[in-house]
Amino acid sequence: MARVFKSLDEFKAIAGEEIGASDWHTIDQAQINAFADATGDHQWIHVDVEAAAKGPFGGPIAHGYLTLSLLPVLAEQIYDIQGLAFGMNYGANKLRFPTPVPVDSRVRGVATLKETNEIAIGTQAIISFVMEIEGVEKPALVAEVVYVMAAAS
């Protein structure tokens, strides 16, 4: 269940705090193949099950950018800011993929609001996301994502 903020000001007030965690999401071979088709990245380590079984990870692994692309759906499970005129992704300050995600792994996102800054068109929020792999100590992804949002008038 997403943590609901009744306003942008209420969201900004928790700067420095963990926002919450998403549900667990299974990354299966069908999702990996669909991502490969969407991006044109058909590297064998992701889509050739037989070759990947003989590779360094004992089977296919998810694309790093597939794990990154899950952030919007996982973020939607973590928080909801009501009363926004708009919210948009502005980019990332930091992005790392410390651990490969084997096919059929379960991942979840944990978000922390690092800071907010007022800019000409609204508020810039920097949110740290850590994507955990169930049963694995090191995360699949560590990202510092920048969003721009504005309260509705």
Q: Beta 79-81 vs 3-5: how paired, if at all?
A: parallel
Residue 14 Cα distances to 23, 55, 116, 153, angstroms: 21, 44, 10, 22
Q: How many residues does the chain have?
A: 153
Closest CA to 103 of 14, 27, 23, 11: 27
Mean pLDDT split into 10-residue runs, the chain, 153 residues: 97 98 98 98 98 98 98 97 97 97 98 98 98 98 98 92
Domain span holding position 14: 3-151
Q: Rounded CA gap, 69 and 50, in Å?
A: 26
**pLDDT in the model for residue 92:** 96
Q: How many domains does the chain have?
A: 1
Helix (H) / strand (E) containing 33 = helix 29-39
**pLDDT in the model for residue 153:** 84
Q: Rounded CA gap, 76 and 67, in Å?
A: 15
What CATH number did the domain enclosing 31 receive?
Answer: 3.10.129.10
**pLDDT in the model for residue 39:** 98
**pLDDT in the model for residue 101:** 98
